[in-house]
Structure 1
């Protein structure tokens, strides 16, 4: 049965919960309730469909971690700033994930990402994520 996600706050909370369920808890069965079986993936570095995303997460190192940052919702879209660390890369990845909700599930995804800058590299002197630079 589709969920009714009416307010921006409900939509943001739903997407944050979905990402935590998949990326941190790695509860793939529970994650199926958040992602449409017909999920459309626009990211160039993630295989197509819900299975492609889940298989990518299954292949990540055990220490992989997702943190949610800023979030905004407009209509059926949710924009989520994230930090992905412990992913086998030299630095964490900072992303903006854009998901389209349909019938109470994540139906479509786009993202942009870059490696997190250190304090020495930041021309603004401000961290890319949160209130402090990575250790």
Structure 2
């Protein structure tokens, strides 16, 4: 299967965004989120500035991230990773779905699930 040029760009955009965020450069989000960014996660605000202010103060900003896979097409990028907030031994399995428009991230959805013990998931979650 060949990836289109746009799919490759979307994948690179999202991978770079995660890299910057994980390295503590939350301000980088101002360069990649559309001003009218739409957030679908309950409790998280929409709008670039409101979202960045919210995420900078959330426990996510101090979490460890272990990126497992990124899949992209011409409009979306999907990211699967392990997020381990401070004090959480097992972490949370997360899938983010990002919609990209005109080279910027326009919209976000996610699903999250606490990682259970190995007895409960013998083949792992990630």
TM-score under structure 2 length normalisation: 0.81
1:31 matched to which residue of 2? 29
2:125 matched to which residue of 1? 128
CA contact (8 A) 1:12 1:71 kept: yes
**1:87 Cα deviation from its structure 2 partner:** 4.4
Between structures 1 and 2, the one with greater helix share: 2
Most deviating of 50-59 and 40-49: 50-59
CA contact (8 A) 1:94 1:115 kept: yes
Query: Within 1, Cα distance between the matches of 2:31 and 2:62?
Result: 24
Q: Size of the alignment, in residue pairs? A: 122
Moved over 4 A (4+): 87-90
Unaligned stretches of 5+ in structure 1?
Answer: 130-135
CA contact (8 A) 1:76 1:100 kept: yes
1:65-76 matches, within 5 Å, as 65-76=64-75
**1:16 Cα deviation from its structure 2 partner:** 1.4
**1:83 Cα deviation from its structure 2 partner:** 1.5
Query: Within 1, Cα distance between the matches of 2:108 and 2:24?
Result: 19
1:82-121 matches, within 5 Å, as 82-89=81-88, 91-121=90-120
Query: Within 1, Cα distance between the matches of 2:62 and 2:27?
Result: 20
Secondary structure of 1:33 counterpart: helix
Unaligned stretches of 5+ in structure 2?
Answer: none
